[in-house]
Structure 1
Amino acid sequence: MHALQYEITLPAEYDMGIIRHRVATKGHLLDDFPGLGIKAYLMRERGRDGSPVNQYAPFYLWNGSEGMNSFLWGPGFKGLVDDFGRPDVRNWTVLAYEEGAAGTATPKAAIRRRQRIAEGTPLPEFAVELAHEAARLAGQEGAVSAAVAIDPHAWEAVHFSLWDHASPQGVGDVFEVLHLSAPEREKLARGRQW
């Protein structure tokens, strides 16, 4: 399982209604995309929920590399590149995924927290801690789902959770969820991924 995200940071005076319209008119195009577990169309606005920037930053959970590659090398991503330029795409290996206590609800917000893994950290124990963290987040009231993933090149963990209410409490960047495409969500493996 793979997690993927790119961030398009926009000028402070940018009309974020343009992003809302983009998602309202194009978000459904991935509602049946093969291999896609979840795509959360995320946005944050400068001055809301502590955000210092205007940003469009979709987050994906892929069941495997084939669907992810099909997206990145296909017309959908090309359209984004044509409109905004080619963003840096972050890619993590998922260590754990859990459906939340509010798993059937439509998510309204997401929290993403990045965590540097310090040199000397015992990796097997840390991976178990991360899996427990995903389960803890998923068990909270209002949680739709939670995942933790690792970038072993940069030695960074990312914690990602979806919530059924706006402005959830938690550590990390808070995003508004504009749309959720989840054609193969039921195929996402639950629990530890090793």
Structure 2
Amino acid sequence: MHAMQYEITLPADYDMGVIRHRVATRGHLLDDFPGLGLKAYLIRERGEASPVNQYAPFYLWTRPEGMNAFLWGAGFQGVVQDFGRPVVRHWTGLSYERGPARGALPRTATRHRSPVPSSVAPADAVEAALEESRRLAEAPGVVATALAADPRHWELLRFTLWDHPAPKAPGERYQVLHLSSPEQGRLGEGRQW
């Protein structure tokens, strides 16, 4: 599993209705994309628990071929043409857990990034994070949660989809406009090794 996200920060006075229309008319195009576990079409709106207007899709890929086909194909080129070329962050998948609301459509999402301190053994940090993911996956309203790592920057990322307003917690909170999940069943459950 591979996690991927790009963030397009928009002007403070940007009409977020433009992004909502974009997702409403184009979001379905990835509903059957090979290699895509899920894509959450995310936004944050300035003044609504966010300092910025932002379009920030989040992806979980079942295999690198799907991610590559998207990045080097027509799908991502549309983003580049409309918004410029954003930085694309990616992380190696560590775990994926479905929650008690697994059959519900997610309404919100949270993303929390945290550094792995140099004083902590990476394996110990990952084990602690895996245990926290297992606990989080049992929380009411959790559709699914994923844990991933960037070993270049020694960063852990936890991404969680909720069927209700996201709880106030460290990290960013997003509204989910659409979810494409053609190969969600192929993401597996639990740790990824």
Partner-residue secondary structure (3-state), 1:19? helix
Q: How does 1:1-194 map to 2 (within 5 A)?
A: 1-48=1-48, 50-194=49-193
In structure 2, how many angstroms separate the alpha carbons of the residues matched to 1:180 and 1:159? 18
What CA distance in whole angstroms lies between the structure 2 residues aligned with 1:161 and 1:136? 12
State the secondary structure of the residue aligned to 1:111.
Answer: strand
Tell me the amino acid that sits aligned with residue 122 of structure 1. A
Instruction: Flag structure 2 segments of 5+ consecutive residues without an equivalent.
Output: none
In structure 1, runs of 5+ residues without a counterpart are none
4+ residue segments displaced more than 3 Å: none
Deviations 1:50-71 (A, max 9, x none): 2100000000000010000000
Shift of 1:124: 1.3
Distance in 1 of aligned mates of 2:172 and 2:135: 18
Contact 1:91 1:151 in 2 (8 A): yes
Is the 1:109–1:168 contact (alpha carbons within 8 Å) kept by the matching residues of 2?
no
Shift of 1:138: 1.1
In the alignment, the residues of structure 2 paired with residue 18 and residue 113 of structure 1 have an alpha-carbon distance, to the nearest angstrom, of: 27
Distance 1:123 1:88 in 2: 26
Relative to the length of structure 1, the TM-score reads: 0.97
Question: 1:133 Cα deviation (Å)?
Answer: 1.6
